[in-house]
Each structure stands twice: as C-alpha cells, then as structure tokens.
Amino acid sequence: MNKRKKLLILIAKKMLVFFVSIFALSIIAFSMSRIAPGDPLVSYYGDRAERMNTEEREHAIHRLGLDGTLTDQYVAWFKGAIKGDFGESFKYKENVLTVIAGRLVNTLLLGGIGFLLTFFLALLLGILCALHEGDWLDTLLCKVGTITSCIPEFWLSLVLILIFSVTFHLLPSSGAFGLGEADSILSRIRHMILPMVVIVLSHLWYYAYLIRNKLIDEKRKEYVLMSKSMGLTNRQVMWRHCVRNIMPAFISIMAISLNHVLEGTYIVEMVYSYPGIGTLSFESAKYHDYNMLMVLVIIMGVVVILGNIIGQIISENIDHRMKEEAIIEDAEVVASEKI
Amino acid sequence: MTNARDNLVIDIENLSVEIKTETEKINAIRNLSLSLRQGEILAIVGESGSGKTMVCRSIMELLPKSAKVTSGVIKAPKNEMAMVFQNPMTSLDPTMTIGKQLSYAIKSRNKIKDKTEIKNRAIELLKLVQIDRAEERYNQYPWQLSGGMRQRCVLAMALGLEPKVLLADEPTTALDVTVQASILGLISSLREKLGLSILFITHDLGVVAGIADRVAIMKAGSVVECDTTENVYHSPKHEYTKELMNSLPSNAGEFEVKSVENVETVLQVKDLSHYFKLGRKSYIRAANNVSFDIKHGEIFSIVGESGSGKSTLARCILNMYKPNSGEIIYDENVVLASDKVKMSREDKRKVSAEIRVISQDSDTALNPHMTVRQVIEEPLLLHHMFKTKAEMYAYMEELLDDVELPRTLMDQPVTMLSGGQRQRVSIARAFGSKPKLLIADEPLASLDVTMQMQIVKLFAHLIKEHDTSMLFIAHDLSMVRFLSTRVGVMYKGELVEVGTTEEIFNNPKHEYTKKLIAAMPIPDPDIEREKIRLFKERV
Amino acid sequence: MKRFKGKPLVSAIILGLIILGCVFAEVIMNHDPVYMDLANFDKAPGKEFFFGTDNLGRDIYSMIWYGGRCSLMIGFLATLISTTIAVVYGTLSGISGMLVDDIMMRFTEILLSIPGILLIIFVQAMIGQQNILAISIIIGVTSWMSIAKMVRTEVKLIRTQEYVLVSKQMGAGFFHVLGKHYFPNFISSIMFMIVMNVRSAIVAESTLSFLGLGLPIEVISWGSMLSLSEKALISNAWWVILIPGVFLVITLMCITNIGNYIRERMNKGESNM
C-alpha cells in the first residue's frame, strides 16, 4: 500500500513537472516567434498583403488574432489550445492539426525507425568494440567511427544523392513516395533508404562510443574477475553481466537523446524535401506561420521532455539503489552484532 | 624430497611478470618461486605495489592484457581452484540476486542440471558460510546485504565451484574489525571441514598470524622471506621483514604519554546529538548524547567501526553539520556548534585560525591543480601571517623539513606525489598556521603499514613540538593504542566508554569495548591461534 | 620522437596549415574569389581553375581559402560567446540554493529540448541579420546549455571535495574559493567541450548557410559555397559539392582529434595514483 502511494506521488510530481515545462515552453516559443521581425500577413495573403490599405490591414490582423498585447494574444491562444483548437495555418489555410497529421506519420516512420536502428546498431557496435578493447578491430572501428561522426548531415546527404541518385540512378533523391504511389510500401521504402542511412550514420558512432566506454568501465569491476575465475569466457561475462548492467544507463541515454536524433531528422528532411514535420517547422518559422509553429514546438517538447523525464526516473532509481547501499553501510554494526 | 614435491598443489618456479605501460616496462614479479602444500594456509604479505596480487592473478590466469609472463612455470590445478576478491561491494553483480549468481557458480563446474537440486545446493552453501535465514537471502540482491554478508556470499560462490585450492586476495581488508575476525574464523574452519589448501594474500601482518601455517613476505616483486609463521613472527631474518615488524605499533614500544591533569580544556562536547532523516518518520541516530572533553596537549582518540558515528561527530565539531541538540564549546567560551546560538564573526575568525583539519583521503584533500607551495601557503595567506613573501617562503621550507619532505618538492604539482607524501603535505598545511586543535579524521586509512607508522610518529613529534591538542579519529585500534592519551569508544552513535589508553586496552568495561579489543588482530601467532580456536568452539 | 607519442600531431599540423592558408588567403589565391567569371561557369577542376568553378563562375580554389576565414572565425567567435555565458550561468547555478538551482537547470533543459537548429532559426528570425557577427551571436546564444550543465555539475562536485571544505574551514571567503579551487578545476574538465563546441559551431554555420538561413551567397564561407549544391546536382558538378565539403570534414576531424586528446589526457590526470 505504502509503495503504491509512493508511486502515485512520484507520478503526480513528474506530471506536474511535465505540464509546467510544456507551459513554459509554449510561452518561450510564443514570445520568441512574435518578437521576430517579419510580416505574418505575407504568409497568409501572399503578395496581396503588401497592397492592402490600412483598414484592410487592420481587419486582416484582427481576423488572424494578431491584435492586442502579447499577453492578450497568448491568453487567447491558450484558451483555444485547451479546447483542442490550435487555430488555422496561415500558409495552408487549414486547421493546423489537419496539416500536421498528414505529415506526422512520415516523420514518425523516418525518425522512429532511424532512432531504433541507430541504438540497436550502436549497442552491437559498442559491445563489439568493448570485447576487442585495444585490438586492431577496436582501433579501426574507433578511427572510422570518429570520421563518420565528423561529417555534417547535410553534406553526407548531398554526397549520397550525388552517388546513388545522380550518378547511378539507383534511388530517388527527394520526397516520401513516387508520384501517385502514396500507398506503395515499396516506393516508400525506396525513398526512405537514403535519409535513413544519413540519420543512422551521423549518430551511430556517438552513441556506440558512449556504450563502448560504459562497457569498458564495467569490465574494470571486480565481479568480472570473479566471474572469470569461475571459468566464464569473456563473451559470456560480457553478455551475462556487463551488458545487463549497463541497460538502465543505455535506456536512459536513449531517452535523453531523443532531441538530438530529432534534430538530425529535421535537417535530413530538408535536404531530401521529405514531407515531414521537420520541413514544416522550417517553413513555418521562415514564413511566420505562428499557429503552426506553436503546435510543432509543443509536439517536439512533449516528446523530448517526456524522454527526459523517463531518463530521470531511470537514473534516480539507480541512485536510489546507491542510497540504500549507504544506509546499509550505516547499519553494518547492527548486522554484524551476533559474533 | 620427492615426497615433499608430491604434496604440492601449487608450484611456482622462477616466475617473472612484466607490465607494459605507455611509457615504460615494470617488472611486477621477478624470479619468484613459491609453493602451496596440500591442506595448508600460506599467507603472502606485502605492501601495495609489491606484486602480491599479480602472483594471484598469474596463478588464476587472469592477468590484465598489459601484463605478460616473461619466464617461469606455474603448476596449478586449473579446474580445482576458486578465488575470493578484496572488495565484497564490487565483486558481486549488483543487478543479479545472490541465488542466481550462486547457481551460475554451481552450474559452471558441476554436472547438476536439476533446478531444485541447484537451489538446494546453493542454500546449503549459504548455510556453510554461516549466513542466517539462507532461504530468504537466496532471493535478495547484493545491495540488500552488509559488507560482511556479501563477503560470505562471495565465499559461498567460490565454494560452489567445489575447489581444492582457494585463493583469497585481501578478503578482509574492506571489512570492520569484528566482521574481519569472524570471516577469518570461517576461513579457518572451512579449511578443516573441506580440506582446502588456501593462499591468503594480505598487507596486514596481524590478520594472518592466527590462521597461516606459513608466511611469505613479498617486496618489489620477489619473496624475501618464506618460513613457518612462528619463525617469521618471532625471529625474522630478512631486513625488510624486521622493518615490517617494527612498523607495527605493538612492536614499536610505548609512546611517552603526557599527563593531562590540571590543564585547561580545549574542547568540550556536551550532550551532542545528530540525527539523519531516513524517511518521514525514521531516523538514524548518528550521534546520540555524546559528551567528552579534550584537554590541552593531549591526543584524544575516538574509535569505532564504520557507521558508529565518529565521522559525524567530527563534522559537527567542524560546523559542517548542525547538531540537533547539545553544544560544542571551544577554548572555554566559544560556542562552536549548538542548536541555539550562532557564532559571531569574531569567533568564526578565531576558530578558522586555530582549528585545523587533516582528512582521510589524501587524494581529494589537496586540489589537484595546485603545487605543494600553493597548498601550504593557502592558510598562511588567508590569515596574513607574514609581512613579506621571503619570510613566508623561508618558514614554508622549514615546514617541509618538519614533515620530512625534501625542499625540492616545493614546486611540484601535488598529483606527482605519492599517497604518503600527500598526507605529509596535508599535515604541513595543518601545522603551518600553528593551530591549537587538530582534528584528524582517519588520516592513516589510505596508507601502507610502514607509512602509517612514520606518519603516526610524525604526529606524535609535531604535537609535542607545537604544543597542540588533537582529536584523532580511527578504526585501527593498534595505532590508537600507540598514539593516544585518552580513548573514547563509539558504538551505534553513542560514546560507550571513555578512559585513558591504559584503562581502555587493559581493563575495558563496556561489553562492546571488550569485543572490539578481542577482535583486534595482533601480530603474534600464539595469541591469534588461541583466538581462532575459541571462535571455532563457540560456533 | 617520444615526446609526440599519442599526441594528435598530424591533426595539429593539418589544422595549422588550413588556418594559415585562410589567414594568408591573399597570398595563395590565384583568382578573385568574388569575381563572377560568367564565361567560365561550371568548369571542372583543371590547370586554370585548380578546383573548378561554381555555376556563378567563381574560382573554388580561391573561395576555399577566402571562405575558410569566415567559417573558422564564426567557429571561434560563437564558442567564445557560448563559453562565457555557460561559465557564468553554470557557476551561478552551482553555487545557488536548491530552488534557484532547480529553476535555472529546468530552464536549460527546456532550451535543450528544442532541437538546436530550430532554436537557431528562432533567434535568427529575431535578429534578422545575416552577417558574420550576427551568425556568431546566434550560434553562441543557442549552444551554451550543455557546457553550462557541465560547469554546474563540476561546481557541485568540487563544492564537496575535501580541499574546498578544508579551505573554507581555514576561513577562505567565497571569491578565494572561486578563484583558487573552482575555476582551475572545472576549466580543465570543460576544455574538451569547448573544443567540441568550436566543431559544432562550424557545422551549425555551414548547415545554416546551406539551408539559406545563414550567410548569403555573396558572403563566402564553406557553408554558403555548399548552398549552391542543389544546382550543382542538376549539372552533375561534383566538385562544387565535394571539395568544400572535404575541407570542412578534414577541419572538423582535426578539431575532434585534438578534443579527444584533451579528454583522454584529463582522464589520465585524475587517476594518477
């Protein structure tokens, strides 16, 4: 009972942190986007905005909810947002959620699969390197890895397009699917290969190296010697003990690196003109499509802050174990009393 | 002669091991020959860096990659050996239950497949190493057990391999004295029950006096002396063995103790209590109604095992923790810590000039980015003790002489110094500003035996010379006995007994003091063997 | 020879050469980098134009050295800005009480949760200028967070170290402890991050300029040179894409190697005994 209560309190606390963070994020995004110079009317009315007279202008501003002080505007936006009404996109002249819904799947596919693939490969690579620590294989992988981690995403994308699309005509260079092939899975996969390779390659080594170092630290611990003295091979010790023991840290790293991988996805989407929320974010920031931008930033915030909280819970639990250890130390005398 | 050879379970001949670092090659073991006879306990004793662990690792074929056997033969029954490691906190996998780890151990050499059979064997082993409530422990994680318990589990795992030879690398070093005594008794009785041959590695001559049949003394990678325990302890032959024996406080003769009657009181602790909050309603009483006083010119020691609250006490005196009740009075009128009064600015100044700390860990006690000079001059500058730099530097050089460090070290970064040298720098810093009271919290814990003795002698000398008083906090009873004027014994947050060193060691009154003193390892085989015999009778 | 063992000598030399080449660009250039020679656009590398020309007829060989100045300058300037912010912010947070520290760290976490490139676009839109100083400031004020977190952790850690406690007990005031103990210790542990920050600032500049949000085409940098690559893809002018990119990647690699060396040296220094 007590344990359940503790859990409920913990969840409530984390929820509070979550909502406060999202709220703060929305304020920051709101004020930042509106302080920025530039005319949002242009994105709604296009060239027409420049030919408007004062009266028309005022009318348009009112229509888009851009009059009043910044606070008033925010309150208005917030009221709508609670009801699930995030407004209309200035550029697409549709409800923002409708526009985003169409694109979110594309990003989730690309970013999600890329994310999982990156970490799966990073784990394998990290284990491989840790097993061969100091060998030629480890040294080679470290060298190659460092090189790949130095290549900017956009340039890698360009080079891949140059090789696979322009020179050999093997793979498409842009879009999420061919013309009129929205339902063809094959077409989608073909379009996804190059962006996916970029996402995985540009993040892989960073995490593989982290995991490698964590495993190497783990290898230095005494229980490894203990297990080896019982006749286990290096490989067995690695899988049975070391990998298991870094799992909490691994998941925690995964959780907090969501935004890192997301950022990569955004850039890749831009280069490959991939219709996801990455390209949409750039467009809306560039064209002052406020309503769109707010929702995009908040979606991002939800994903990333959620990831952070998960990471925190995991590392706090590890901490908890440490704390308990300290208490046991204190109680040592009590335990050894019966001599 | 042939007969004797047949009796050997481990036979090492002319072993040399080389360790390659980035810059140089170190001969960790040089031409070492050693043998372990059937059924005996052979102790290898040496200070850190003597290569004793390397011997153990070479036998188990667990040498690190950087180490290479350059010559020699090791004959050992590879599949009939098991090893126990120093630190029970790290030698168990923290994320796996005791039971599961034990099962792995049992499965790895036995042909038992049946799950309940394995579990029964595991519980049997836990009982063999005298763990109570074995069925319950089977499902617990290492972090739920105390250090002593864990070491018993490690022993159980080693025994799960059904070994004929047990290698134990400092198995009791990380444990408290009373726990250590019980583990030693356990090892000794296991030898008889299971007919084990045991190689026991340690740095502490006191620990093995009771259980070892033979002792090998190691220095710089080779065995300098190897003989029966009696011969080594009573008539050492090699110079180094003699030096080791003389570093033991019990062999160093008595230190001249100053009389402390009719002198002023430097520090007075009155009914001090400090609690740590655990949960909403539970507390740990780290210090409970502690009262004592320190007179001018004396060395007052507080002994106790880990968790007894002795460090909490020191931190309260240093004003790092605020006590929950009681007060600490310095120099008869300055209230150092109390639950009510706050210190005035003037008092703070006085205290910061007159009280000095020497801390436990010589690694973190000095800022790694400073040179020796910068460390020592810090308090001198803070309290503007000198008018000119030249004067100050001259004084600092004298200080280095005082702590027996060469003056050439003055501009070395502290990271270049050895552990003992750092502790000396720390002492020079403390004595530099001519303190009235020194508080030393386990200042010897991280040092080798010979180094400990030197530092203790240095303390004794400097205290006399500078006319200061000292609060010495330690867990090592033999050093306390050698150095202190009066001793206080702490147990579970309470000061259970205070008396002169004579009284405490020769005529302890409190039950716990008696137990503590009885558990204190004494480097005399006759006394220790008697203790082990008594222990076995009781179990 | 032994003295240089394990040190990133090759990286340091290459980086040195690139920096020298950029500083003394006027000496090595054989064409005017900004001159648009419309008769010679999209020329492949050859005797006249070592690295070819882009589709505006500019000589890439000259542009590499001339534009490198911009890229490197932005890298260093942005790092200077972000490090300054990070050190001040991190130290303040580390020595503040629980509540203030919590709020300050929460704020950095929120900023960190916005993908860097989006944050840069925000600030870019706010400043609205596209010159070297503006881009440096934009990159600087959006990339201090992780260093600040590191500084704070270090400060928190150092705060509980024995030597700080001893120093305080000896009567040392706040500024004494700050200058003698905090700074020397955390500077060495964030050095690696500072070097890596130079790297990510250069990447950020090139990415931004490539996306058309950073420096305009007229202001030559490695990034703005690459912003022409979409046209180069159509005309299959591989040199326009590959050559500036290779220079960029080599520079980044040298910086990374130097950074890794600093990190390893730091780790060794700690476990000396």
Q: Nearest CB to B382: which of C162, C170, C185?
A: C170
Chain C nearest C-alpha distance from B161 (Å): 35
Residue B229 has pLDDT above 80, yes or no: yes
Mean pLDDT value across residues B158-169 = 90
C residues 151-210 closer than 8 Å to B (CB): 161-163, 165-167, 169-172, 176, 180-181, 184-185, 188
Q: Which range, A191-205, B456-470, C181-195, has the best average confidence (pLDDT)?
A: A191-205
Residue B62 pLDDT class (50, 70, 90 cuts): confident
Measured between beta carbons, the chain C residues lying within 8 angstroms of A308 are 109, 113
Q: Do C163 and B418 touch (CB under 8 A)?
A: no
Chain A nearest-CA residue for B105: A230
Q: Average per-residue pLDDT in chain A?
A: 81
Interface check for B365 against chain C (CB to CB < 8 A): the answer is yes
Domain contains A140: yes
Interface test with C, best of A155, A159, A262, A309 (most C CBs within 10 A): A155
pLDDT tens per residue across span A130-187: 999 888 999 999 989 988 888 998 999 999 988 888 888 888 877 777 777 777 788 8
Element (H or E) spanning B281, and its range?
Answer: none
Measured between beta carbons, the chain B residues lying within 8 angstroms of C191 are none
Q: Nearest CB to B364: which of C163, C188, C272?
A: C163
Q: At what angle do helices B389-402 and B419-432 cross, to 10 degrees?
A: 130
Mean pLDDT value across residues B256-279 = 75
Q: Nearest CB to B85: which of A222, A330, A334?
A: A222
Chain A nearest C-alpha distance from B248 (Å): 26
Interface test with A, best of C110, C111, C142, C257 (most A CBs within 10 A): C110
pLDDT of residue A241: 86
Q: Do B146 and A330 touch (CB under 8 A)?
A: no
Alpha carbons within 13 A on the beta-carbon side of A181:
13
Q: Do A285 and C122 touch (CB under 8 A)?
A: yes
Chains that touch A (3 or more CB pairs under 8 A): B, C
Domain contains A173: yes
DSSP A89-143: -TTT-SBHHHHHHHHHHHHIIIIIHHHHHHHHHHHHHHHHHHHTTTSHHHHHHHH
Query: Amino acid letter at A183?
Result: D
Q: Do C206 and A146 touch (CB under 8 A)?
A: no
Chains that touch C (3 or more CB pairs under 8 A): A, B
Mean pLDDT value across residues C143-164 = 86
SS3 letters across chain C:
CHHHCCCCHHHHHHHHHHHHHHHCHHHHCCCCCCCCCHHHCCCCCCCCCCCCECCCCCEHHHHHHHHHHHHHHHHHHHHHHHHHHHHHHHHHHHHCCHHHHHHHHHHHHHHHHCCHHHHHHHHHHHHCCCCHHHHHHHHHHCCCHHHHHHHHHHHHHHHCCHHHHHHHHCCCCHHHHHHHHHHHHHHHHHHHHHHHHHHHHHHHHHHHHHCCCCCCCCCCCHHHHHCCHHHHHHCCCHHHHHHHHHHHHHHHHHHHHHHHHHHHHHHHHHCCC
pLDDT of residue C4: 58
Domain contains A201: yes
Residue B302 pLDDT class (50, 70, 90 cuts): very high
Mean pLDDT value across residues C121-143 = 83
pLDDT of residue A324: 46
Residue B430 has pLDDT above 50, yes or no: yes
Coil, strand or helix at B37: strand
Residue with tokens 């034990």: B102
Residue B487 pLDDT class (50, 70, 90 cuts): very high
The fold for domain B265-512 equals Rossmann fold (3.40.50)
What percentage of chain A carries pLDDT values higher than 70?
Answer: 86
C residues 6-25 closer than 8 Å to B (CB): 6
Mean pLDDT value across residues C207-225 = 84
Q: Is B68 exposed, middle or buried (0-12, 13-18, 19+ CB in 10 A)?
A: middle
Residue C40 pLDDT class (50, 70, 90 cuts): confident
pLDDT of residue C2: 47
Chain C nearest-CA residue for A22: C110
Domain around A218: 99-338
Q: Do A226 and B154 touch (CB under 8 A)?
A: yes
Nearest residue to A158 (alpha-carbon basis) of C54, C53, C121, C227: C227
Domain contains A112: yes
Chain B nearest C-alpha distance from C157 (Å): 11
Residue A333 has pLDDT above 60, yes or no: no
pLDDT of residue A201: 92
pLDDT of residue A329: 40
Residue A319 pLDDT class (50, 70, 90 cuts): low
Q: Do B492 and A334 touch (CB under 8 A)?
A: yes
Residue C267 has pLDDT above 90, yes or no: no
Chain B nearest C-alpha distance from A307 (Å): 24
Q: Which long-range contacts (CB under 8 A, 24 or more apart) does B496-500 make?
A: B498/B292
The span from the CA of B352 to the CA of A78, in Å, is 56
Q: Nearest CB to A21: which of C110, C236, C256?
A: C110
Residues in chain B: 539
Tell me if A338 sits within 8 A of A50, measured CB to CB. Answer: no
Q: Nearest CB to B105: which of A230, A321, A330?
A: A230
Q: Do A324 and B96 touch (CB under 8 A)?
A: no
Tell me if A296 sits within 8 A of A277, measured CB to CB. Answer: yes
Mean pLDDT value across residues A287-306 = 83
Mean pLDDT value across residues B213-239 = 90
Measured between beta carbons, the chain A residues lying within 8 angstroms of C126 are 32, 35-37
Of B376 and A77, the one with more pLDDT: B376
Q: Do A222 and B91 touch (CB under 8 A)?
A: yes
Measured between beta carbons, the chain A residues lying within 8 angstroms of B62 are 225, 228-229
pLDDT of residue B254: 59
pLDDT tens per residue across span B311-359: 888 888 887 778 888 888 888 777 877 777 777 888 888 888 888 888 8
pLDDT of residue C44: 74
Domain at B2-246: CATH code:
3.40.50.300
Question: Token pair for residue B3?
Answer: 């007969």
Nearest residue to B352 (alpha-carbon basis) of B334, B368, B367, B369: B334
Within 10 angstroms of residue A61's Cβ, the number of other Cβ atoms is: 15
Q: Do A152 and C249 touch (CB under 8 A)?
A: yes
pLDDT tens per residue across span A226-241: 888 887 888 888 888 8
Residue B197 pLDDT class (50, 70, 90 cuts): very high
Chain centroid to CA B304: how far?
13
Domains and CATH numbers, chain C: 9-32+64-272 (1.10.3720.10)
Q: Nearest CB to B93: which of A231, A245, A330?
A: A245
Mean pLDDT value across residues C57-74 = 87
So where are chain B's domains?
Answer: 2-246, 265-512
pLDDT of residue B1: 41
Q: Do A21 and C252 touch (CB under 8 A)?
A: no
Chain B nearest-CA residue for C182: B367
pLDDT tens per residue across span A9-49: 888 888 888 888 888 888 888 887 777 666 677 667 766 76
pLDDT of residue C6: 65
The span from the CA of A44 to the CA of C258, in Å, is 49
Q: Which of A60-64, A124-128, B139-143 has the lowest mean pLDDT?
A: A60-64
Mean pLDDT value across residues A270-275 = 87
The span from the CA of B81 to the CA of B294, in Å, is 53
Chain B nearest-CA residue for C168: B352
Mean pLDDT value across residues B51-76 = 86
pLDDT of residue A87: 79
CATH of the domain at A111: 1.10.3720.10
Please check whether the two domains, B2-246 and B265-512, share a CATH topology.
yes
Torsion sign across C-alpha atoms A261, A265, A267, A272: positive
Interface check for B415 against chain C (CB to CB < 8 A): the answer is yes
What total of structural domains would you count in chain A?
Answer: 1
Interface check for C216 against chain B (CB to CB < 8 A): the answer is no
Of B300 and B86, the one with more pLDDT: B300
Coil, strand or helix at B241: helix
pLDDT of residue C175: 84
Mean pLDDT value across residues B384-395 = 89
Q: Do A282 and C211 touch (CB under 8 A)?
A: yes
Of B187 and A324, the one with more pLDDT: B187
